Structure 1
């Protein structure tokens, strides 16, 4: 039972980590897009 619980906990942690990683990538992408936008507007 302990190993089953540990496996379930590990799965839950991995799901949450992957979800947070995806959120982080989205945030990073939006920041990069904003940086690109500002640099492009400065060139114009």
Structure 2
């Protein structure tokens, strides 16, 4: 999907969600070039 998105000029952003406690996933995404764009907060 990432390669397809890079080749498609209409795609501006690829996003993924991960819990802030999932450090392994965060490390993986950052190693693939993803950057943190924001954080969601949950109010209960």
TM-score, with normalisation over the residues of structure 2? 0.28
TM-score, with normalisation over the residues of structure 1? 0.28
Higher relative contact order (CA 8 A, sep 6+): 2
Return the structure number with greater helix share. 1
Q: Which has the larger radius of gyration?
A: 1
